Structure 1
């Protein structure tokens, strides 16, 4: 923004924001702008950070900035928890970052079957409040992340085999549209918007709260098991053979597991994170993993605990401000393919493991048939994955390191690795179109992976609720609807 435009933008902001408007150089600006999950977002410098404290201020912001958004003089970013790691996803260079963390509420319906959640909450706060009432929801598996971006990206929970994607449990969204109008979107009212927001990201408006179905919170049995040996390929191979059997047979819809190999501090370990959401200790469905050899018993965290206890445990496996990000593809289960991926990962790791502070997790997250079937039964979402496509594995690639001088080679090595996996899976007919948005890489065309019919509906929704395309051009962060190529 040029100086005359900046003064106009500042004037517009002052007309609606009651609190401070943060600008570069102030202590509070530096604190808030340095509080993202990744260093890459912290390094983006907006001209202004505003922190609306109520819905009326969000509406006022959109109305006052609307002419500047339409003219292209101004762009905005919408920040929730700030967990999406790539630069510009929830922050914007020389623009206005709208920090939504002040919109906090956790309110129950009269019979407590529904909870309304403000977009400023974290999942740990939500679970903590719900557990006071013996309840929970199908939210994130990590407690420290914000609620909004997770839900708008689809989300997976410990309960996904029973409930589908986390967004499938959302019965209503409260949304500020590009006009500044506040609307509710549910199965009866603005139903097209409701379905589109379930996985459709920030393409249609600013979500201020959403309502989710609750259910009884039982004790959960589970935790993290580590396996180490002199032959890590053999250990990994054992795990993924059992993982493929697990997703193919689906004997127990209350069992949830994630499988990975990780590197850190010069060592590698294979891990299985597993849970039984009805609290059955060492159930038959999980015994293939609890009985595997080469377990590091002193590192095991298997126990009976609460939903909140387990998501707080996974929160401890990450921290804010590191040079870190995710990339992902989706594949059909195949042990030979996954073993080939492991060899490719080891080759890639050998090239970058001398990067200071390098950690690297490489994992497989099941999308079972039951997950996709229950997703379809819940009223539809933007991802539109047919249950017949399951089971699938979401492949997660997650590097982290310390120094900016290692950025170029780490990004290049990981990009080559992911491209190699995608090529090999495609060659074998095992690559699925879907890319899990919550783990997607910054250059991925994730919404293209939702399929042509879903894209058509999403574009119709965008044109209906945002006919001038403010949330396509004026809010560039995240993954936007595909544009026709000339």
Structure 2
């Protein structure tokens, strides 16, 4: 167990980082430790926050801390921008939190076909820089999200139907290993590590930068359409038709039912990434009535513009989290899910500041096929498994006294979803890591073959298991026999 007063740890950190160490009780420590996406992360108090800004500093940190981590004296957390909401995902009680937000840089190659991105960036800063050159990448849909955790979890982008998961556009990772060495991982060098990092989370090292393929950034047509609550059944039918039958690979949708401040609404966020206005592929959503017209935002804009729009729908520091399962499309099952969601809502909507959404995000066959063509990733979802829906449950509230009942209610709801889908043979093993709940065994959902490869990669690059034993946050590789 970590000791908040361990002078050896303090000495080691001071030697490596000098002034870039924040200690409890200081104004800067409180500010930085209070800047996570969720209140649950803000409430954890590490003994030290360290802020390296160079690869050499990260190497020196790992070499210096390694014996203390392997002995159990010290535990580590690795923070990008800290958007994974559950407690301990990127922060560690009485341990050392390595804050990587100082790793800046959005650097194009000479021919502008590839961009190197520092892990301290957000998608807003990446898109803003690339748009100066008429370019973009298949990154996050919400601009304010950090780049590192998003990519290591796989990520969905507006361009995913044509390009696969966001991680499939990564052609190279730079990562500091448990030994303190720097590994460059791509299709030709450390290829097993390259594949493992595409969805393998923080299990293999500390990511410092990565390179992605760029492409021309043209106009996009899309936005958010709001509907009256009684349109849900028709929206669901249209979404199932879309995910099963639509062939236009320049489309992307997210559908949800939501509650907030005493009101319900149904939404479809939709995009045509080649900028075609109201294309046939999206008319099943644009023509659906009755709409709440004054709230709609359909328009022509840029990748940056749309990602900035979605950034406005979330705030830092609230009591909030996500839970998710993946299913095969089925109207009657999802109608039942919606009814169960409504029943759960009725039991907890009196919580202060309560907002609650039930969303479904398509994984089309084209997305899975294009992911496989790009070289594959740790998720190892066969295109023949598609199409699929990622189901997302998202509660938000303000008071800690409501924690237990909301966690219990949502826990039960997701358990019911899982059981109902399983009974009908419609539950898929995969859980989307970027929306996963802390109790889920994410990596096990990648399937036995992928898990076996990931274990081999871990043994090769981290033979003593430093990142398995000493970095408790995130989702670890399953232990043998599970």
TM-score bin, normalised by smaller chain:
over 0.9
3-state SS in 1 of match to 2:267: strand
Contact 2:5–2:47 under 8 Å retained in 1: no
Instruction: After TM superposition, list the pairs within 5 Å mapping 1:229-378 onto structure 2.
Output: 232=229, 234-378=230-374
Show the counterpart of 2:121.
121
The counterpart of 1:478, out of the listed 470, 474, 477, is 474
Show the counterpart of 2:19.
19
Is 1:440 equivalent to 2:436 in the alignment? yes
Contact 1:5–1:73 under 8 Å retained in 2: no
Contact 2:227–2:289 under 8 Å retained in 1: yes
Q: What CA RMSD, in Å, does the superposition of the two structures yield over aligned residues?
A: 1.0
3-state SS in 2 of match to 1:16: helix
Give me the whole-angstrom Cα distance separating, in 2, the residues matched to 1:368 and 1:452. Answer: 23
- Residues 121-151 of structure 1: per-residue CA shift (max 9 Å, x gap): 0000000000000000000000001000000
Instruction: After TM superposition, list the pairs within 5 Å mapping 1:173-188 onto structure 2.
Output: 173-188=173-188
TM superposition outliers: structure 1 runs of 4+ over 4 Å: 1-5
3-state SS in 1 of match to 2:326: strand
Is 1:390 equivalent to 2:370 in the alignment? no
Shift of 1:21: 1.2
Is 1:416 equivalent to 2:416 in the alignment? no
Show the counterpart of 1:225.
225
Show the counterpart of 2:37.
37
Instruction: After TM superposition, list the pairs within 5 Å mapping 1:202-217 onto structure 2.
Output: 202-217=202-217
Instruction: After TM superposition, list the pairs within 5 Å mapping 1:70-81 onto structure 2.
Output: 70-81=70-81
Give me the whole-angstrom Cα distance separating, in 2, the residues matched to 1:484 and 1:464. Answer: 16
Shift of 1:18: 3.6
Show the counterpart of 1:28.
28
- Residues 83-113 of structure 1: per-residue CA shift (max 9 Å, x gap): 0000000000000000000011111111010
Shift of 1:3: 5.7
Question: Normalization by structure 2: what TM-score?
Answer: 0.99
- Residues 168-202 of structure 1: per-residue CA shift (max 9 Å, x gap): 00000000000000110000000000000000000
Unaligned segments of structure 1, at least 5 residues: none
Shift of 1:485: 4.9
Give me the whole-angstrom Cα distance separating, in 1, the residues matched to 2:176 and 2:273. Answer: 36
Number of residues paired by the alignment? 482
Going from structure 1 to structure 2, the CA distance change for 1:33 and 1:102 (only over 3 Å counts) comes to same
Shift of 1:5: 6.6
- Residues 316-343 of structure 1: per-residue CA shift (max 9 Å, x gap): 0000000000000000000000000000
3-state SS in 2 of match to 1:15: helix
- Residues 339-393 of structure 1: per-residue CA shift (max 9 Å, x gap): 0000000000000000000001110000000000000011110000000001000
Unaligned segments of structure 2, at least 5 residues: none
Going from structure 1 to structure 2, the CA distance change for 1:3 and 1:262 (only over 3 Å counts) comes to closer
Contact 2:172–2:194 under 8 Å retained in 1: yes
Give me the whole-angstrom Cα distance separating, in 1, the residues matched to 2:363 and 2:49. Answer: 38
Contact 2:156–2:165 under 8 Å retained in 1: yes
Give me the whole-angstrom Cα distance separating, in 1, the residues matched to 2:3 and 2:255. Answer: 52
Going from structure 1 to structure 2, the CA distance change for 1:4 and 1:279 (only over 3 Å counts) comes to closer
Shift of 1:20: 3.1
Give me the whole-angstrom Cα distance separating, in 2, the residues matched to 1:3 and 1:262. Answer: 43
Show the counterpart of 2:154.
154
Contact 1:19–1:51 under 8 Å retained in 2: no
Is 1:57 equivalent to 2:53 in the alignment? no
Give me the whole-angstrom Cα distance separating, in 1, the residues matched to 2:3 and 2:393. Answer: 42
3-state SS in 2 of match to 1:224: strand
Question: Normalization by structure 1: what TM-score?
Answer: 0.98
3-state SS in 1 of match to 2:6: helix
Shift of 1:294: 1.0
Contact 1:329–1:395 under 8 Å retained in 2: yes
Shift of 1:281: 0.4
Going from structure 1 to structure 2, the CA distance change for 1:225 and 1:4 (only over 3 Å counts) comes to closer
